[in-house]
Amino acid sequence: MPDADNYGNPDYPAQLAEMARVLQLHRGPIAIASHVDADGDAVGSVLGLQRALRALGKPAQAFLRVPNYLAFLPEAGEVSPPRAQLEPGTLLVVLDVDSSDPLRVEGVAIPSGAELVLNLDHHGTNSRRADLSIVEPGKAATCQLVKELVDSLGVPWTADIATPVLLGLVTDTGSFRFMNTNGAVLRCAAELVEWGASLSWINNHLSQQPKSHYALLVSVLSSMEFHFSDLVVSAQINQAMLDSAGAGWEEAEAFVNTIRSAQGTELAVLFKDYGDNVKISLRSRGRVSAQAIAVACGGGGHHAAAGATLNLPYLEARATVLGKIEEQLQIDGLR
Ligand SMILES: [Mn+2]
């Protein structure tokens, strides 16, 4: 039986049709934006929707900062850098992030002054304050929602549209290895491959690492620590480590996936020490809620993958986070 991954929201198909109708009817400019520290799902969903809307003849423009490791995806000039003000009469589509969060949205300033705001997201913590919000925590990636929106728009699929959408599925499912990889995700990916998206092309590009990655890997592995009877693994990245490796902050995020492989651990936490604040990335194997820990630290995310920013120096932030982790391990019956 197919996965009913939109369970809990029987209105999803109607909402999707309504969003497609609003996009079809809009005559003015369309701006598309996503979140800070854009990842594969952010870039893929923005680019996929922009290409689909342009195929319909719509003046859609993506405002996005693309990280170096995804720079292979957009064509030259296809994506514009973040902008402070929108043209009058603009319809704004915000993907993969809460459209009302001025600290998390990047590309346009929030509030944006847009005529209409559409928000498509798979983070359950979304406050649903857009003119039209579709939030489906059961979807593995916002790209899965974009795929279904493009279907609703009736745009003929091409490899150009399918490729960024497939990339978002790949990155948000850890190459179809995480718990969120259900039958619906695989069927969605299968359709995108049939329309010409190449999984091997995507994986070949995503797997290439700059030299600086390996230098940083050495120091990140040296910072690894185990806590709470080895149920939790952590690592740290700070500016000095980046400087000596010749790496930038955008290379930091990937390392949470390096340490999460530690056998016997239930939770991995990467501390990114920016000096006056600390960002944490949390990954769970499923028995402990990464989302609950992130929310307790002022952030958000999913059960298996979440994050937060603590406006504290490193040692205080670390003590706070480890305290919240210990509480959650108790709540989830692991301690
Ligand atoms: Mn996502």
Cα of 83 vs centre of ligand 1, distance in Å, is: 22
DSSP state of 156: P
How far is 71 from 117, CA to CA, in rounded Å? 27
Report the pLDDT averaged over residues 139-155.
Answer: 98
Residue-wise pLDDT for 66-118, tens only, equals 998 999 999 999 999 999 899 999 999 999 999 999 999 999 999 999 999 99
Residue 239 has pLDDT above 50, yes or no: yes
SS3 264: coil
**Ligand 1 centroid distance, CA of 86 (Å):** 25
> In terms of Cα–Cα distance, which of 285, 251, 271, 286 is closest to 319?
271
76 Cα to the center of ligand 1, angstroms:
24
d(CA 129, CA 134): 10
Averaged pLDDT for residues 204-224: 95
Quote the pTM value.
0.85
- Measured between its terminal Cα atoms, the distance across the chain in Å is 37
> How remote is the CA of residue 335 from the centroid of ligand 1, in Å?
31
CA distance 167 to 40: 6
pLDDT tens-digit profile of 20-64? 999 999 999 999 999 998 999 999 999 999 999 999 999 999 999
Burial class (CB in 10 A: 0-12, 13-18, 19+), 261: exposed
Q: Which amino acid is at 36?
A: V
pLDDT value for 4? 47
Residue 250 has what pLDDT?
85
Residue 229 CA to ligand 1 center (angstroms) comes to: 31
Task: Say how many Å lie between the CA of residue 37 and the centre of ligand 1.
Answer: 12
Q: Exposed, middle or buried: residue 210 (CB in 10 Å: 0-12, 13-18, 19+)?
A: middle
Contact (Cβ atoms closer than 8 angstroms) between residue 48 and residue 167: no
pLDDT band at 6 (very low <50, low <70, confident <90, very high): low
Per-residue pLDDT, averaged over 4-16, amounts to 77
- Residue 1 above 50 pLDDT? no
Longest Cα separation, the chain = 59
CA of 259 to the centre of ligand 1 (A): 21
Peptide bond into 111 cis (omega under 30): yes
Give the Å distance between the CA of 42 and the centre of ligand 1: 6
The two structure tokens encoding residue 297: 């630290």
- The tens digit of pLDDT for each residue in 280-327 reads 999 999 999 999 999 999 999 889 999 999 999 999 999 999 999 999
pLDDT at residue 190 tops 50: yes
Weakest-pLDDT range from 3-12, 108-117, 253-262, 305-314: 3-12
175: tokens are 């190459």
For the chain, helix (H) and strand (E) counts, in that order, are 11, 13
**Residue 122 Cα to ligand 1 middle (Å):** 7
Instruction: Give the number of other CB atoms < 10 A from CB of residue 92.
Output: 26
With cut-offs at 50, 70 and 90, classify the pLDDT of residue 2: very low
Amino acid at site 23:
L
Cα 136 to ligand 1 centroid, rounded to whole Å: 11
Distance CA 114, CA 29 (A): 10
Q: How far is the CA of 28 from the centre of ligand 1 (A)?
A: 28
Give distance in angstroms: CA of 7 to centre of ligand 1.
19
| Cα(285)–Cα(32) distance, integer angstroms | 33
Spacing, Cα 96 to ligand 1 middle (Å): 5
In this structure, the strands spanning 225-227 and 232-238 are: antiparallel
Domains and CATH numbers, the chain: 12-206 (3.90.1640.10), 211-331 (3.10.310.30)
112 exposure class (CB count in 10 Å sphere: 0-12, 13-18, 19+)? buried
Structure tokens at 196: 């010409």
User: Pairing mode, if any, of strands 91-95 and 30-35?
Assistant: parallel
Q: Tell me, what's the pLDDT at 9?
A: 83
Q: What single-letter DSSP state applies at residue 68? A: G
One-letter identity of residue 264: G
What pLDDT shows up at residue 84? Answer: 82
CB neighbours (10 Å) of residue 48? Answer: 30
Tell me what the pLDDT averaged over the chain comes to: 95
